[in-house]
Structure 1
Amino acid sequence: MQALTGLLVVSVEQAVAAPLCTARLAEAGARVIKIERPEGDFARGYDTAAKGDSAYFVWANQNKESVVLDYKQPADNALLHTLIAKADVFVQNLSPGTLQRAGFGSADLRARHPRLITCDISGYGETSAATDMKAYDFLVQAESGLVSVSGGPTELGRIGVSVCDIGAGLSAHAGILEALLYRSVSSVGTGVKVSLFDVAADWMTVPFLQSEYGQGAPARQGLQHCSIAPYGAYQTADKALTILSIQNEREWQRLCETVLFLPELVNDPRFYSNTQRVQNRADMDQKLNAVFITLTASELRMRLLDASIAFGALNDVAGLARHKALRLRHTMTSTGQQVALPALPVQFTHMTNPKVHAVPGLGDATDRVWAEFEAQK
């Protein structure tokens, strides 16, 4: 058995944040009915990389039933109300107020169905002055300051995956699980609200505190850590980049003695602590680079391994696909073709791990769900 077997989730969802949240619920055994407009979730058209399906859509929509409804039409509106009446969880990420105006406001739904858990995912929340702003991942990265601390010293950089969408979806998933635990002891459903901006702002806490109370927000460092040194990418004689990380003074000593063969650096006042190393990063890097440029990446990594120093190769996506730690799972696209994708990050020992189901075609379950829930009225 899976943890959420027997639970019904109804989701009016689009893009990435809400679909990823409900995908995780489906993977835990919940039945997820995905409500789509007649034209479908626009994430279906982001690309065609997954053998004709969108890579985003394949990732975030496995194990679901797609039902096409136009809730502005009386019959479809009534069916959606019937679905929600039977549901344990209702999730939505349309623009704030959209479903409220259609009669599906979360507070009203919980008043009508006291055990219902509702989850509203928005860009900037529902009460701020920014409510009317369109909120997509890159925009929130920019508005929250994430972009300002990403990239190289002379160039801003978008974080390369949709981190605000992903973070909001996973935060919503965690909130729903907490709400289910609360309901198990209180028999009362609750509302869960998550915004992309709140998630990004939470992740910006360290730069925020440094800016408000310290010496200012960290400058962009490219492939170096802004507040730990050495922690970054170093080039060897074969032009390969290796990222190494020193987290404490024991590791610094081992790096100096076992990797660099420069034991005198251990007690050099410029490098005696992490604070000094950050302040004197250029001098420190000059010492490191003078040694590393005489080694191949293989030789450097062997020394780091022998010294028990954390390191990693700077891989590209093709390197990820060949990585010895990569686990894969397989799913079927909406047209029945098999694709491989990275395995789920959580594995269980005493619960059934998720089964693989296909990505739904638009409206695949519409007739079946109509028949099932009309019969239950």
Structure 2
Amino acid sequence: MTRPLDGVTVVSIEQAVAAPLATRNLADLGARVIKVERVDGGDFARAYDHVVHGTGAHFVWLNRGKESLAVDLKTPEGRDVVRRLVAQADVFLQNLAPGAAERLGFGAEALRAEHPELVVVNLSGFGAGGPMEHRKAYDMLIQAEAGLIAITGTSETPVKTGIPTSDIASGMYCAQAVLAALLRRWRTGEGATVEVSMFEATVEWMGYALYTRMYAGTEPARMGLSHSSIAPYDAFPTSDGQVLIGVQNDSGWRTLVTSVLDAPELADDPRFATNVARVAHRADCDAAIATRTARHTSAELDERLAAAGVPAAQLKDVGQVVDHPQLRARGRWRKIGTEFAAVDALLPPATFADVEAEMGDVPALGQHTHALLVESGVAAEDFLARGIAVQARVP
């Protein structure tokens, strides 16, 4: 069966996490993605570490299914190669420093003037204009500016999220915008210029916290594993660990205390009978539950909660997630190639019933340079000999 983006070509001058995530999502859907990299080391993420058989974990995660073109954009010849490829592409995406794309001749205005049907996506830290346009925009810094760190952690200690949330948010919005722009183009023939800001993507994800602050007039509290508006909603001790329990309505509360914890007297206790009351008496509520959950092992309590339909989970470490029975049972792992060895990779979360995602190999730096130089119509051997481009030697 046809993959959703078969026949779509994307040229991306990208690095780090946000833009590579966007284009990897497009590659998984069947698009051809040409990744333009520096000749001296390529994408920064290649060198973050070398834990995946000599390849960086970030890079393996974000760059499967792409063609790597290593070309020197500081040279007119290198820029010309990319322009030739863009002329045949459907999408151009970049996350260079503000103004860099324009200086290289890849600004949206110039590209769209020459190719009105092209979809151009500019991903930046803070967006064009404004006092922070030229500020560095690493994920942690964006989380701080967007207020995410302020609401994450415990009452004593704010923390950033354990994954690059701002990068992921903006990368997802980029991919979504590309799909919308292509849909419009297929209807009307019209291209698009799209801007995505990491900061604005993260502020959007702040969601209810923003509205709480704007209309309640109070700063949302850092609650750790707890929840400001729901109780019980936290980790509770067991005889050999802990289990997370989240009860979002009063009927769930009655089920928890009667069917799971064998404490029916708590069901109608006026301190706990409604969610509003439980939130007001959170400490007493949590203590009453903890006393009873501690009588069970984690596995036993988890089984009782599941049987009763009470929302709960065991706190898994990353090693347990790698071998999670739900992922294994649903066959979510596939093998993909890297520069040095095959590795396991997860299927994308969106599953099409009639076709599986295109999960190509992770390219070595410049692995496809020679072929792309030939495709662009330049003297490939001359470019390689002069160092304007680099071709990888893949084992």
TM-score class, shorter-chain normalisation, is over 0.9
Partner SS, residue 225 of structure 1? coil
Q: Deviations over 1:241-267 (max 9, x none)?
A: 101111212111111211122223222
Partner SS, residue 300 of structure 1? helix
Partner SS, residue 56 of structure 1? helix
Q: Which residue pairs with 1:11 in the alignment?
A: 12
Q: Which residue pairs with 2:366 in the alignment?
A: 363
Tell which deviates more after alignment, 272-281 or 228-237.
272-281
Q: Which residue pairs with 1:354 in the alignment?
A: 357
One-letter code aligned to 2:371: R
Distance in 2 between residues matched to 1:55 and 1:194, nearest whole Å: 25
The alpha-carbon deviation at position 215 of structure 1 amounts to: 4.8
Distance in 2 between residues matched to 1:274 and 1:13, nearest whole Å: 48
The alpha-carbon deviation at position 328 of structure 1 amounts to: 1.2
The alpha-carbon deviation at position 186 of structure 1 amounts to: 1.0
Distance in 1 between residues matched to 2:374 and 2:180, nearest whole Å: 33
Aligned residues: 373
Q: Which residue pairs with 1:90 in the alignment?
A: 92
Q: Which residues in structure 2 correspond to 1:96-135 (within 5 Å)?
A: 96-135=98-137
2:338 to 330, 333, 351: 333
One-letter code aligned to 1:31: R
One-letter code aligned to 1:67: L
Distance in 1 between residues matched to 2:61 and 2:51, nearest whole Å: 12
Q: Which residues in structure 2 correspond to 1:43-192 (within 5 Å)?
A: 43-192=45-194
Tell which deviates more after alignment, 6-15 or 286-295.
286-295
Partner SS, residue 121 of structure 2? strand
Q: Note if contact 2:242-2:298 (Cα within 8 Å) is conserved in structure 1.
A: yes
Distance in 1 between residues matched to 2:161 and 2:201, nearest whole Å: 15
Unaligned runs of 5+ in 2: 380-395
Distance in 1 between residues matched to 2:323 and 2:173, nearest whole Å: 30
Q: Deviations over 1:149-206 (max 9, x none)?
A: 1112211212001111111111100110000111111100011211111111011121
Q: Note if contact 2:27-2:358 (Cα within 8 Å) is conserved in structure 1.
A: no
Q: Which residues in structure 2 correspond to 1:275-354 (within 5 Å)?
A: 275-326=276-327, 327-335=332-340, 337-350=341-354, 352-354=355-357
Q: Which residue pairs with 1:251 in the alignment?
A: 252
Distance in 1 between residues matched to 2:219 and 2:230, nearest whole Å: 14
Distance in 2 between residues matched to 1:273 and 1:192, nearest whole Å: 47
Tell which deviates more after alignment, 253-262 or 110-119.
253-262
The alpha-carbon deviation at position 44 of structure 1 amounts to: 0.3
One-letter code aligned to 2:348: L
Distance in 2 between residues matched to 1:244 and 1:74, nearest whole Å: 60
The alpha-carbon deviation at position 375 of structure 1 amounts to: 6.8
CA RMSD of aligned residues (A): 1.5
One-letter code aligned to 2:106: F
Tell which deviates more after alignment, 255-264 or 151-160.
255-264
Q: Note if contact 2:347-2:357 (Cα within 8 Å) is conserved in structure 1.
A: no
Q: Note if contact 2:70-2:369 (Cα within 8 Å) is conserved in structure 1.
A: yes
Q: Deviations over 1:263-296 (max 9, x none)?
A: 2322222223222211211010111011112222
Distance in 2 between residues matched to 1:17 and 1:97, nearest whole Å: 18
The alpha-carbon deviation at position 68 of structure 1 amounts to: 1.4
Partner SS, residue 185 of structure 2? helix
Distance in 2 between residues matched to 1:297 and 1:363, nearest whole Å: 50
One-letter code aligned to 1:32: V
Q: Deviations over 1:296-331 (max 9, x none)?
A: 222322221221101110010111112111221221
Distance in 2 between residues matched to 1:19 and 1:124, nearest whole Å: 18
The alpha-carbon deviation at position 332 of structure 1 amounts to: 1.1
Distance in 2 between residues matched to 1:355 and 1:101, nearest whole Å: 34
Q: Which residue pairs with 2:392 in the alignment?
A: none
What TM-score, normalized by structure 1, do the two folds share? 0.96
Q: Which residue pairs with 1:197 in the alignment?
A: 199
Partner SS, residue 218 of structure 1? coil
